[in-house]
Structure 1
Amino acid sequence: MKIYQAGPLFTEADRDWHKKFTSALNQKGHTAIWPGDLFDEEHLLSLGIKAKEHIFERCMNTIDECDILVALLDGTQVDDGTSWEIGYAFAKNIPIYGIRTDFRNGGDTSHSMVNCMIECSCKGIAKSISELLELL
């Protein structure tokens, strides 16, 4: 199964988590793709003002090519780019699964894990990589 891995990738910790998660998915026979694998920093710098359109189109086209989107939902609120990717996948009828390893409540109600629009877009939300692998 080809899986788009959505989530923030701005810190070393974010990137390390994505690499660990990609490895776990690939070991289970899936093909995992995350934006960190799609772009080269030097190439983006060379594009100047056009880099943002390049990032947008490449991520959108990659989501279109995937069977599933898995979203990292950690933090006090879901990353804005990740939220957009979830909404886009939902509109395209691409199944979405979330993973939230953050123990803080980030939802709209005492029964919510994250914002209800995000949570209700997901077929399931796991609390660990092993739990998510079972959902898939």
Structure 2
Amino acid sequence: MKIYFANALFSQAEINYNAQLAAKIRQIDDAIDLYLPQENASINDKQAYADSKMIAQADTEKLLNSDLMIAVLDGLSIDNGVASEIGVAYAKEIPIIGLYTDTRQQGATNQKKLQALTQIAENQFHYVNLYTTGLIKLNGTIVNNEKDLLAAVANYI
């Protein structure tokens, strides 16, 4: 099974997290062929050069040849590249598993947090673009922890 892993890859924290999670996904089954864009040095060695067309062509080719996409939705907003890749996967009917671990989603039954929504600039929750998450839900699912992500991947195999 070919899996495309989409997440930001511009900070050391993002690179480390991607590598750690990719290793866990690869351990699920030997049949998994996971594409992690940061491992493609021909376009993502930041000491070298790759223009926008080279990056778009290389990653889109891998995405279009995938059986499943994993999209990390964390951050101030969904990474622009990840959002674009979600659109491509949706249009090509490639199933998508979104991973959204933002801790601000917790406390949905806390009345003080809910009441704060009525006050200007006191949203206690994190917002994720509804169009983009809708594309995922129309062609997959969103989970909020690694354990559920790994189980969802295993279900696709």
For Structure 1 versus Structure 2, the TM-score category normalised by the shorter chain is: 0.7 to 0.9
Using structure 1 for the length normalisation, give the TM-score: 0.85
Please tell me the residue identity of whatever aligns with 1:135.
A
User: Which residue in 2 is equivalent to 1:126?
Assistant: 143
Report how many residues are paired: 128
**Aligned counterparts of 1:111 and 1:43: Cα–Cα separation in 2:** 38
Using structure 2 for the length normalisation, give the TM-score: 0.74
For the aligned residue pairs, the C-alpha RMSD in angstroms reads 2.1
Report the Cα offset of residue 21 of structure 1.
1.0
Question: Which stretches in structure 1 are left out of the alignment for 5+ residues?
Answer: none
**Aligned counterparts of 1:112 and 1:87: Cα–Cα separation in 2:** 22
Question: Which stretches in structure 2 are left out of the alignment for 5+ residues?
Answer: 106-123
User: Which residue in 2 is equivalent to 1:135?
Assistant: 152
Report the Cα offset of residue 101 of structure 1.
1.3
User: Which residue in 1 is equivalent to 2:114?
Assistant: none
Task: Select the structure of larger CA radius of gyration.
Answer: 2
User: Which residue in 2 is equivalent to 1:116?
Assistant: 130
Q: SS where residue 104 of structure 2 aligns?
A: coil
What stretches of structure 1 move > 3 A for 4+ residues in a row?
110-113
Please tell me the residue identity of whatever aligns with 1:121.
L
Report the Cα offset of residue 43 of structure 1.
7.9
Please tell me the residue identity of whatever aligns with 1:94.
I
Identity of aligned residues (%): 28
